[in-house]
């Protein structure tokens, strides 16, 4: 696929590939069409050595669709260059700690994100990896009884819930002002590939018709099952790396690191289509 435009090396997992031989800032329409097809197939594409500038990252992300937001730092470094203390009263630290739980982006918003472009500017020497989990392969691996049990179930999704559960709620930030918790099926049909994907993660809770305890147990069991090899990959970052992932098919998380060390990433979130990623009341 796309041999004339780029080289693609699949990861040792059920998903994902490393892409070389192209500069994302200079990609033409023909190459992008092939890249988009590869993205739907692999769900995660990793591009070493890109060193995208802010405007280049935004422009590349926009090729996948309109932005949910154009770009935001995911960083423990202040504007003056100093590293934030690991203070859980700090709203930024609360966000960074929350991101360490497995999740899909914006499931707590009225419209779930389509995907994201993520770039590394400063990486710690150890830790701070980003992990992804293939929710297509996770669904495919379910036993028949579990698949039948969850076929018609849904769960509410809330950032207030997920942050509160780890004791890091009550902050002013993106998604925290949402007063309703969208109800989303546990089995999502991918709108472009038609594949069934598990839809769980840290924001999911309160399955209608189940007790709180039974709901929590089922959601945790499904998430734990999903993040087993060969359905997971953790990427050790090198400054200059860029990735794009399909938020409709993968969960992701940040891994802990020594937070006295700087870690500076930039995130561009691609808006979902309300027809397929919206919350149907």
pLDDT tens, residue order, the chain (281 aa): 444 679 999 999 999 999 999 999 999 999 999 999 999 999 999 999 999 999 999 999 999 999 999 999 999 999 999 999 999 999 999 999 999 999 999 999 999 999 999 999 999 999 999 999 999 999 999 999 999 999 999 999 999 999 999 999 888 889 999 989 999 999 999 999 999 999 999 999 999 999 999 999 999 999 999 999 999 999 999 999 999 999 999 999 999 999 999 999 999 999 999 999 999 76
Q: Which two tokens stand for residue 28?
A: 């033409």
Q: Write the DSSP string, 82-148.
A: PBPP--TTSHHHHHHHHTTS-B-TTTTSSB---EEEEEEEE--SS---EEEEEHHHHHHHS-HHHHH
- Quote the pLDDT of residue 180: 93
Nearest to 36 by CA among 144, 95, 115, 119: 115
Answer whether 42's CB lies under 8 Å from 15's CB.
Answer: yes
Q: Which two tokens stand for residue 2?
A: 């796309």
Sequence-distant (≥ 6) Cβ neighbours of residue 5 within 8 angstroms? 21, 22, 30, 31, 34, 35
Cis peptide before 230 (omega within 30 of 0): yes
- CA–CA distance, 247 with 184 (Å, rounded to integer): 14
Answer whether 88's CB lies under 8 Å from 97's CB.
Answer: yes
- Quote the pLDDT of residue 227: 98
- CA–CA distance, 58 with 77 (Å, rounded to integer): 21
Which residues are bridge partners to 74 per DSSP?
A: 265
- CA–CA distance, 258 with 155 (Å, rounded to integer): 34
């Amino acid at each position: 696929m796309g041999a004339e435009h780029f080289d693609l090396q699949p990861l040792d997992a059920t998903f994902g590939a490393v892409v070389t031989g192209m500069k994302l800032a200079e990609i033409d329409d023909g190459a992008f069409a092939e890249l988009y097809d590869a993205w739907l197939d692999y769900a995660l594409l990793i591009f070493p050595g890109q060193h995208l500038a802010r405007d280049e990252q935004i422009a590349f992300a926009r090729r996948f669709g309109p932005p949910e937001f154009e770009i935001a730092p995911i960083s423990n470094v202040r504007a003056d260059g100093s590293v934030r203390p690991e203070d859980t009263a700090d709203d930024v630290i609360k966000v960074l700690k929350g991101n360490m739980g497995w999740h899909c982006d914006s499931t707590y918003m009225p419209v779930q994100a389509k995907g994201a472009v993520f770039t590394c500017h400063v990486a710690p020497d150890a830790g701070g990896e980003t992990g992804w989990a293939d929710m297509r392969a996770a669904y495919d691996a379910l036993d028949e009884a579990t698949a039948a049990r969850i076929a018609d179930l849904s769960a509410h999704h809330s950032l207030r819930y997920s942050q509160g559960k780890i004791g890091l709620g009550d902050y002013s930030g993106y998604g925290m002002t949402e007063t309703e918790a969208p109800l989303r099926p546990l089995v999502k049909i991918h709108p472009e590939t038609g594949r069934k994907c598990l839809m769980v993660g840290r924001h999911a809770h309160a399955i209608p018709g189940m007790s709180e305890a039974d709901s929590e147990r089922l959601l945790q069991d499904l998430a734990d099952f999903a993040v087993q090899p060969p359905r997971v990959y953790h990427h050790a970052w090198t400054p200059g790396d860029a990735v794009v992932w399909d938020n409709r098919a993968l969960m992701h998380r940040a891994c802990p690191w020594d937070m006295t060390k700087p870690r500076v990433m930039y995130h561009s979130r691609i808006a979902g289509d309300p027809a397929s990623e919206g919350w149907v009341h």
